[in-house]
Amino acid sequence: MAVTLSSDEIARYARHIILPEIGGFGQLRLRQSHVAVIGAGGIGSPALQYLAGAGFGHITVIDDDHVDASNLHRQTLFSGDEVGAAKAECAVAALHRINPHVAARAVVERIDMDNAARLLEGADVVIDGSDNFLTRLAVADACLAQRIPLVSSAVSRFEGQVAVFRGWESDKPCYRCFVGNDPARDGLTCAEEGVLGPVTGVLGSMAALEAIRAVAPFGDDTAGTLLLVDLLALRFRTLRLPKDPGCPSCSGGASSRAA
């Protein structure tokens, strides 16, 4: 049976559908797609708003933390009366208010090497907006093994970055090609360094844009391109990330990992 959009959905997504690069076909692809978002924080919060608005059929929000008063200046999904509640559950409630056509699910668990493969299974694209390096490695390894495009984004103070990884492809880097393997690399968090609220809005919105591009392709293929944003200087620039021929994760192909 052919899947079609209802009249309510056509009205809701009219400004997408009118874009030749998206159209009805792209909108259907979005509805049939599942995005998993790691971290309902500064990146995840604005990203999730646009993912729900865009009409992803399934959204999984993975976060084991609770809403804190110090989150509210940048995590715009939450309100003051939700302080102390589980972020993933508050986020899912907000997504249903934004778009009742979306099936959103909260996972109040910390994602790690032991559960990442299970929690991300079935996702068509993953956004990682988490705030620690070990989590990012666990998510990246699971995405590589399951061949799920990974949109990785991070912010600090007035700066941020976003990149898409499909390391199972012969000419595309994986996340470990980019960052290496040293677990001591863990950077400082927003709690330690501070961050200007709208900086997370810029990078979270970019992450949502790349997640949409990953399932309903438009424009250039951005996998392997790193966007660096410096908002003290109001400067955006991109770098091509090379595939590391010595990378233990993706060199020689993902098949060696999956065996």
**Closest residue to Zn ion: CB criterion:** 247
- Considering only 140, 174, 208, 211, the residue that binds Zn ion (CB under 5 A) is 174
For Zn ion (CB under 5 A), the number of binding residues is 7
- Nearer to Zn ion by Cβ, of 16 and 166: the residue is 166
Closest CA to 144 of 119, 171, 117, 118: 117
Catalytic choice (90, 143, 177, 190):
190
Is residue 250 close enough to count as binding Zn ion by CB under 5 A?
Answer: yes
For Zn ion, which residue of 33, 130, 222, 249 counts as binding (CB under 5 A)? 249
Q: Of 76 and 152, which has the nearer Cβ to Zn ion?
A: 152
190 is catalytic: yes
Q: CB 249 → Zn ion: shortest distance, Å?
A: 5
Angle at 226 between CA 151 and CA 57, to 5 degrees: 20
Whichever of 9 and 169 has its CB closer to Zn ion, that residue is 169
Q: What SS3 state is found at 218?
A: coil
**What is the greatest pairwise CA distance in the chain?**
53
- What x-and-dash track marks residues 228-247 binding Zn ion by CB under 5 A? -------------------x
Tell me: does residue 254 bind Zn ion (CB under 5 A).
Answer: no
Which string of b and e fits 220-237 if b means at least 16 CB within 10 Å?
Answer: eebbbebbebebeeeeee
C-alpha torsion 104→107→108→109, nearest 10:
-160
Residues known to be catalytic: 190
Q: Which residues are near Zn ion by CB under 5 A?
A: 167, 174, 176-177, 247, 249-250
